[in-house]
Structure 1
C-alpha cells in the first residue's frame, strides 16, 4: 500500500502553500509518516527545497512574496531533479491567479498537476465560471483537456471531483468512491496534493503510485464519514490516514 511505503521512506515534502490549510496539510503528511516543511520566504526556499524529496506549490492564498518564492523554489527543484506538484487553487478566479499559473507552467517543469474541473478549464482556456476558489460551473471534456495538458506539460494530471481522473497524456484511469463530506471542510484537496508529492517519490511507477493514492484517499473519506459531525470529520480523516499507513505489507505495493 502506497501510504505504508511513504511511512517506511519518510520523504520530506516542502510545501509552499496557503495559510488556510497549512496546519491540516502538515498533520496529514505526519499522519502517514512523511515529514512536512512549510517554508515560504524567498530568502530560504532554494536552500530548503535542496534537502526535500518533493515540492508542492499551492496558490490558495497567493501574494507577490509567495509568487517569487514559488518560482525560486520550483526552478531550484528542477535543477536538482526534485519532483514538483502544482495545486492551482482558484486558477481562473482572478487575472493575478491565472497569470501566475501561466508563468509557473512556463518556467517550471511539474511532475504532477492536481486540480479540479474549473482549474483545469483555466489552464486550458476553456470557458468556465469560477466560483472563488471552488470549482464553479461550466462544460469541459475532462479526458481530452486533461490529456492535452499532460502532453503539453510532460506531466501527470489529476482532476479530482465526484470521480477522479488521472492521465499522463496516454494512460487514463478513473477512480470512484469517496464521500461528498470532503467538500464541506477546507483543505482536503490541498492535503491530497501534498500526499501526491510524497507518493511520487517512493517508487519508480509514479502513475500507478498516484492512482493508488487517489483510490486510498477515497477510502479514507468513506471510513471517516463514520464520524459524521462536521467538526470531527477533519480529525477522522487524519486518524484514517494514520491507520491506512500502518497496516499490511509494504513489499507488495509498488
Structure 2
C-alpha cells in the first residue's frame, strides 16, 4: 500500500452549511440544519448524538449516499453536491471506504474476493487485485482466512474483512457506521484498534458514527449532534485517552426537542 501519511496536511472531508430536509410544507423534517465540519487528513472523528439527532444523515451526505438540500460537501477538494449519479458511484468506489454494522460481505465470495471486489469493479487486473487484497487481509490479521467465505468466519473476522475491503483502494475517507454495534466488547476493541492503526500508521481519515462512548474514545475528537445541529465537540488532543465516562456524561446533557427528525 502507498503510505497515505504523506498527504497528512489539508482537509480530507469538508462540510459547509450542510442542510437536509425531507418532505414539504407542514410535513417537512429538518434532519440537518447547516452543519459545518472539517476532517483533516490522517484524523479519526467520531459523531455521536441522541437517536434522531441526524448522525446517519450526516454520514450519508458526507459520502454522497444522500444529497444535501443545501450546502457544500468536498472530498479532498472535489465537490460532491453537483456530481451526477454515475460520477458519485465511481467516486465512492475509488475514494471512499465503507465499514457497516452488518458487514455487507457477499456470502458467495471468499474473504479475498470480497476485499478485491472494489478493485475489480474499478477495472483492476485479477492478479493485482488478488495481491492487494491479500496484503490488506494480512494487515488486519486474516492472511490465513483469505479463502474462507463469510459464513465460515466469526462476526469479528467478518468485520475485519470489511475493514480490509475499505482500506484496499487507499481511500481519502473511511466511513464507519456503527462498526462495533454487532460485536462483543472484546472483539469491538480489536476492530477499533485496527481503525486507530489505519489512522496512525497509514494516514487514513476515519469518520465514525457510533452510540458507544467507549468506541468514541478511540477517536481524535468527537462531534456531538442534537436536532440536526452540531452542538459541541471534544477537540483533538482531548479525546484519545479520555475516559469514555466523560463522553457519556456529555451525551447525557444533550436534549432533543420532539421534532421527529429521521436518521
Bucket of the pairwise TM-score, normalised by the shorter protein? 0.3 to 0.5
Judging by fraction of residues, say which structure has more helix: 1
Structure of greater Rg: 2
Judging by fraction of residues, say which structure has more strand: 2
Greater relative contact order (Cα < 8 A, sep 6+): 2
* TM-score w.r.t. length of structure 1: 0.34
